A and B are shown apart, each in its own frame.
Chain A
Amino acid sequence: MVSALIRIVSFAALAYLALPLVVLVGASLTTTSFLAFPPQGVTLAWYGKMLGDPSYVSAFLVSTLLAVAATIVAVLLAVPAAIAIARYRFTGRGLLAETLMSPLILPHVVLGAALLQYGSAIGLVRSFPALLVGHVVIIMPFVLRAVLPQLTDEQKSLEEASADLGARPLTTFFLVTLPQIRSGLVSGAIFAFIASWINVELSIFNTTAELTTIPVKLFNYVQYTIDPTIAAVSGLTIIVAAVVIVLLDLAIGLDVLSERRR
């Protein structure tokens, strides 16, 4: 009885999760000039129209460059910080960890507003670097959170052995530490990349008509007009997300819910 109820709720929830994505991808294929679902006929014309529009192409480029750059900077900053937090005991260690993690719970609108206000005082507004620093701040916790649990104590003894055998700290890092944290680093970096790629709340304060990301461009557009081009842009981001996840699943396995301890 209970189990039947759980199944019903679960199937409904899974349908609910799929619905908007299916509808958007479906509506992007319609031959009508307005959004229709189920689509009437099938055409890729709206995708062609989007790719023929330089402003969408440039927004895709900005989003991608921003997410790549922010992820690289975030990894370069988060890994040393994670090692310091996991390997050393020092005053302010807890405070450091909490500060670095706090962007996860801080409203992005507040942070975006703060960065705009602060940026206008130091001349860092509405530019790629202005977008970049904000994105690095909000995505660093994803890397940190994924790497920290992998810097275990057992591993510490391997690092000490490496040092005892005369390896320099950097050699130890690349030969001993890095291989151990690689899977955490990869999944953390992917989540960081995505968090940057889909962000609206933070970017919106520092974008302009020329320098804009895909989510912000969509946000500004959707408030005035709705047409199948928008569905095609959305559809493309959904397809990209689905492809990334399937690849991720094949590469590192996303089946996080089945590791029941025996």
Chain B
Amino acid sequence: MSRALRPVLLLCALPGAFFVAFFLAPMVVVLIASMTTPAGQPTFAHYVRILADAYHWDVLWVTFRIGALTTLVCILIGYPLAWYLVRIVQWRPWRRFCVILLVVPLFTSNIVRSFGWMVLLGRNGLVNDGLIGLGLIERPMRFLGTELGILIGLVYILLPFIVLAVGNALAKVDPALEHASADLGATPAATFRTIIFPLSLPGLMSGAVMVFMLAVSAYVTPALLSGGRITVFSMLIFQQYSSVFDFNYGGALSITMLVLTLALVAIAGRLSEPRRA
């Protein structure tokens, strides 16, 4: 056994040590700080302060509502787009162009993409001009500083994740299954419902979980598009570490956010487990 373990130790020593030193240790430090006073006495006061304060509940509610809406809209737009790219597009250069269009935003910073939306969604921005030009609204709508503005920005940033995850799953569906289903007399809708959709569900779920996690923990996009009017949870954490310098309370906020997101993702994972007939 010890002979078999030697190569493992050799291979894992450096990556393991690196992760212990710069990932696990920092997280443990935060966990400990969240449960102690600045003087080092154990306390749960920081968590009590978070849980007892209605303001924190409001912020959490806004954060998770935006996260859930972002995920929902990403699915509603992303699934048809993935379907279009995998199933409908026949001309390869066009699909290639579309995939590039999908990936370029992923390769650009959140800050650049959110800045683009700041310009577009402003009072005199292209979106307002367009809506007025089409006669849909009379006066400029306020987007910046509203949840709608943040939603537009977050969906923009996270849409490619869903499309790539669903597209990958759809591309792997064996065409023979559909042919068999059609031969046996199933309508296209029934084939989709009973065969294709269930096969694409793991991709959809993993994409959705990714989108939800990233939406809930996003900092840059809400910070830029909220105009200081809306606070999400990551902003509270950032405030504590960058201007208030209360690392104990900040630690408790960090741990709260971590636990809540992981719990919700675990629930989502449980719900999406394939049901056995």
Contacts and interface: CB of A to CB of B under 8 A. Distances in A.
B22 interface: yes
A103 B22 CA distance: 11
Nearest to A77: B15
B104 A24 contact: no
Size range of the interface on B? 35 or more
A249 interface: yes
Contact of B241 (A18, A105, A113, A136): A113
B257 interface: yes
Contacts of A110: 30, 217, 237, 254, 257-258
A258 B171 contact: yes
B22 A260 contact: no
B67 to A, nearest CB: 11
Interface residues of A, number: 90
A163 to B, nearest CB: 11
Interface stretch (B53-61, B113-121, B135-143): B113-121
A111 B85 contact: no
A77 B18 contact: yes
A106 interface: yes
Nearest to B258: A110
Contacts of B242: 204-205
Interface in B89-129: 92, 95-96, 98-113, 115-120, 126
A114 B29 contact: yes
Contact of B80 (A10, A16, A257): A10
**Chain A contact surface mostly:** helix
B44 interface: no
A9 B168 contact: no
Contacts of A106: 258
**Chain B contact surface mostly:** helix
B172 A261 contact: yes
B265 to A, nearest CB: 7
A114 B175 contact: no
A20 interface: yes
A18 B23 CA distance: 36
| Residue from the set B5, B82, B92, B116 with the largest chain A CB neighbour count within 10 Å | B116
B89 to A, nearest CB: 9
Given A88-B11, A111-B26, 16 more contacts: A20-B156, A37-B119, A105-B262, A108-B219, A113-B254, A114-B254, A118-B25, A133-B22, A137-B23, A194-B106, A204-B242, A222-B115, A222-B118, A255-B99, A256-B99, A257-B170
Interface of A: 3, 5-7, 9-10, 12-14, 16-21, 23-24, 27, 35, 37, 76-78, 80-81, 83-84, 88, 90, 96, 99-100, 103, 105-119, 121, 133-134, 136-137, 140, 169, 194, 197-201, 204-205, 214-215, 218-219, 222-223, 226, 230-231, 234, 237-238, 241-242, 244-246, 249, 254-262
30 contacts: A12-B77, A20-B156, A24-B115, A27-B119, A35-B119, A78-B15, A80-B10, A81-B11, A81-B12, A96-B12, A99-B19, A100-B19, A105-B210, A105-B261, A107-B213, A108-B219, A110-B254, A113-B237, A114-B30, A118-B25, A136-B18, A137-B22, A198-B107, A199-B109, A200-B109, A222-B224, A242-B104, A255-B99, A257-B167, A262-B175
